[in-house]
Amino acid sequence: MAGAVIGYCILALFAAFVVVLVVRALLAKKPDSGSSDYSPAEIDSDEIAEKLAGAVRIKTVTLPDNSCDGSIFFEYQRYLEKTFPAVAAAAEKINVNKYAVIYKVKGSDETLLPAAVLAHQDVVPAEPEGWEVDPFGGVIKDGYVYGRGSQDMKSQMIAALEGLELLLKEGRSLKRTVLFCFGHDEELRGTYGALEISRYLEASGVRLEYVIDEGGTILDGKILGIDNKIALIGTCEKGYADFILEVDKDGGHASAPTRRTAVGLLAEAIYKIERKKMRPHWTTPTKEMFKALAPHMNFGFKLALANRDILSPILKPLLCVVSPFTNCLMRTTMAPTQAEGASTPNTLPGVAKGTVNCRINTGETVESTEKYIRKVVGDKVKISTLEGSIDPSPVSVTDSDAYRKLEKTISEVFSGYIVAPYPFIAASDAKHYYNLTDCVYRFTPFEKTVEDANRIHGLNERQDISMLCRGTQFFKRLYENTCL
């Protein structure tokens, strides 16, 4: 009898637990989207495509360092000033550290903090082999602009400038000052461009209302049980570090190998790194992301995410295997990318080296990641860090007027897509601007297929012209919502 009572008690407690989970899920309701008077601007697709194509034709490949001849960037700036005459006429031009540039379009109300719109002038190299077209030809075909930088990120720069060009040509005046901040070495961490712009603005006593840069993305929500598209705003970005693993052993002829070889020990270290991944954890941006998305999920996903705090021991490992995207959100990733041994196939190398690329999650550091790797691989492997490592950025606030207006703009221009903050898993120039504002956001206003996303830094990079028009509408509306 006592056993039965205990059993009934356990069953009752379990039932109560389930009820609590269900009630919490039901309470996660969609927010009121509110009303809007938005009417999309008419964009001449042929004209905007040709503007981007002309930008692509100027070969602004990232300089190895700032001592190199960067006159191509001055040519590019002259092109922008010719292409956007209303912006150029209204703007004060300030060159920073030679080739970086600020175009300051002054607003009428000096009590309003300026808005900073970021983009980078530089692109990664592109050799013609394997391309369908000249990578710097700016070819327009089949509804796309082809060429290096057409996505990353001259398209966003052109859309941002065109959005303001249209406003100014309509005779409308800014109340809030807009600063177009264009670095020239984002592909090499932005230390000569964006960082120096940020320092210049700080020394000039400038504080910013918000920063908008590339980074956030638009995804199909089905990956998270949502029957809609998701527009994600990057509120921070992961840290970055490349660690070199090195094993020194006696070399020799491969016909008489030693018991343990340098390559074998290196391979073992890499195997351990792939097997013993860093532990997942909830960060502020991942919590905010799932809180925003949970009300829109189907009931199974909603039940799990609305009860994230209770179901965390199950959810964290589950999200790490659902997809590479959710895995990146939850932990520091460590990806072996390079390996080097002997120069001939029949030689035992005296030294074997490998590179592990790490994208460091919020709450961790380059130092703590290196310490973890040392613990995993053991003392037979030397570890060093390549230049350019950086800790994760601070996390931008989402309880701000700037964030709410950015969210509103995205919802208007992208037909009611669901907007949420998230941790940007790559890197951008935006990380250098936290000294000027707590509202640093990353959003790329272009929908793209997986195939086209994979063309960035690869062969046949191209920008969908219809999305270029939508991106222009986005920036025009952003200025209307935040700067008029």
The CATH number covering residue 88 comes to: 3.40.630.10
Q: Please indicate, yes or no, whether residues 259 and 153 belong to a single structural domain of this protein.
A: no
Q: Please indicate, yes or no, whether residues 356 and 209 belong to a single structural domain of this protein.
A: no
**Amino acid in position 375:** K
Residue 129 falls in the annotated catalytic set = no
Q: Please indicate, yes or no, whether residues 335 and 297 belong to a single structural domain of this protein.
A: yes
Q: Give the mean model confidence (pLDDT) for residues 220-236.
A: 92
Mean model confidence pLDDT for the chain: 92
Instruction: Determine, yes or no, domain membership for 77.
Output: yes
**Of 152, 162, 186, 412, which one is the catalytic site residue?**
186
**Amino acid in position 399:** D
Instruction: Determine, yes or no, domain membership for 28.
Output: no
Q: Which domain holds residue 132?
A: 45-215+426-482
**Of 122, 185, 196, 288, which one is the catalytic site residue?**
122
Q: Please indicate, yes or no, whether residues 193 and 243 belong to a single structural domain of this protein.
A: no
Instruction: Determine, yes or no, domain membership for 34.
Output: no
Instruction: Determine, yes or no, domain membership for 229.
Output: no
Per-residue confidence (pLDDT) for residue 415, from 0 to 100: 86
- Give the list of residues 6+ apart from residue 243 with CB closer than 8 angstroms, or none: 355, 356, 358, 369, 370, 373, 383, 384, 385, 386
Residue 322 pLDDT level (bands cut at 50, 70, 90):
confident
Residue 127 falls in the annotated catalytic set = no
CB 193 within 8 A of CB 186: yes
Residue 2 pLDDT level (bands cut at 50, 70, 90):
low
CB 346 within 8 A of CB 302: no
Query: For residue 363, what are its two tokens?
Result: 């709450």
Q: How many domains does the chain have?
A: 2
Instruction: Determine, yes or no, domain membership for 418.
Output: no
pTM for the whole thing? 0.92
Q: For 371, what's the count of Cα atoms within 13 Å in the CB-facing half-sphere? A: 5
Instruction: Determine, yes or no, domain membership for 414.
Output: no
Q: For 274, what's the count of Cα atoms within 13 Å in the CB-facing half-sphere? A: 10
Q: How far apart are CA 377 and CA 100, in angstroms?
A: 42
Q: Please indicate, yes or no, whether residues 189 and 247 belong to a single structural domain of this protein.
A: no
Q: What would the pLDDT profile of 53-85 be if each residue is shown by its tens digit?
A: 999 999 999 999 999 999 999 999 999 999 999
Q: How many CB atoms lie within 10 A of CB 69?
A: 7
Q: Please indicate, yes or no, whether residues 54 and 182 belong to a single structural domain of this protein.
A: yes
Residue after which a domain boundary falls, among 333, 357, 385: 385
Residue after which a domain boundary falls, among 352, 385, 418: 385
Q: How far apart are CA 14 and CA 12, in angstroms?
A: 5
CATH code for the domain in which residue 299 is found? 3.30.70.360
Instruction: Determine, yes or no, domain membership for 440.
Output: yes
Phi-psi region of 177 (alpha: psi -120 to 50; beta: other; left: phi over 0): beta
Instruction: Determine, yes or no, domain membership for 299.
Output: yes
Residue 32 pLDDT level (bands cut at 50, 70, 90):
low
Q: Please indicate, yes or no, whether residues 206 and 61 belong to a single structural domain of this protein.
A: yes
Which is more confident, 6 or 106? 106
Q: Please indicate, yes or no, whether residues 156 and 64 belong to a single structural domain of this protein.
A: yes
Q: Please indicate, yes or no, whether residues 170 and 278 belong to a single structural domain of this protein.
A: no
Q: What would the pLDDT profile of 343-368 be if each residue is shown by its tens digit?
A: 999 999 999 999 999 999 999 999 99
Q: Please indicate, yes or no, whether residues 58 and 124 belong to a single structural domain of this protein.
A: yes
Q: How far apart are CA 355 and CA 270, in angstroms?
A: 9
Q: What would the pLDDT profile of 383-440 be if each residue is shown by its tens digit?
A: 999 988 999 999 999 999 999 999 999 999 998 899 999 999 888 999 999 999 999 9
The SS3 of residue 92 is: strand
Q: Please indicate, yes or no, whether residues 344 and 309 belong to a single structural domain of this protein.
A: yes
Q: Please indicate, yes or no, whether residues 380 and 445 belong to a single structural domain of this protein.
A: no
Is residue 25 pLDDT above 60, yes or no?
A: no
Q: In 296-417, which ranges are E strands?
A: 333-340, 347-348, 351-360, 382-385
